[in-house]
Amino acid sequence: MLRELITDSLREVSTRVHRAAIAATAPSGWTATERAWSEALFAALLPAEGRLPGLATLDLDAFWVRYAEVAPPMLRFGLRASVDLLALSPPFVLGVPHTVLGLDAAAREALLDQALRSRVFLLRQLATTVKLVGLMAYLRDPGVRARVGEGS
Partner 1 sequence: MISLDGRDVRVPLELSSDVVVVGSGPAGAMVARTLARRGIGVLVVEEGPFVTPAEMPADSFSAMASLYRDMGASLMLGAPPMPFVQGRVVGGTSVVNGAISWRLPEDVHREWVAADPALSDALPYRELDALFDEIEADLGIHPTEAEIAGPNNLLLAKGAEILGLEHRPISRNVRGCRGLGRCLQGCPEGNKTSMDRSYLPDAVRHGARIVCNVEVTRVVHEQGRAVGVEGVTPSGARVRIRASRAVVLAASAVQSPVLLIRSGLQQGPVGRGFSAHPGAAVAGRFREPVRLWEGATQGHEVIGLRKERLKFEALGYDMTLVAARTKGVGASLVRDLEDLAHFANWGVAVRARAEGVVRAGPKRAIVTYSLEREDLRTTARGVKVLCEMMLAAGAEAVFPGIYGWPERVTERTALADLPAPSDPNAYTMAVTHMFGTCRMGSRPADAVVGTDFQHHAIEGLYVADSSVFPTNTGVNPQTSILALAAMCARHVAAR
Q: Which of 5, 23, 75, 94 binds partner 1 (CB under 8 A)?
A: 75
- Contacting residues for 124 by C-beta, under 8 A, at least 6 apart: 115, 116, 117, 118
Instruction: State residue 52 phi and psi, 5-degree precision.
Output: -105, 140
Closer of 53 and 91 to partner 1 (Cβ): 53
Q: What is the DSSP letter of 52?
A: B
Shortest distance in whole angstroms from residue 128 CB to partner 1? 8
Answer yes or no whether residue 3 interacts with partner 1 by CB under 8 A.
no
**Site residues, partner 1 (CB under 8 A):** 44-47, 49-52, 63, 66-67, 69-72, 74-75, 109, 112-113, 116-117, 119, 121, 124, 127-128, 131-132, 135-137, 139-140, 145, 148-152
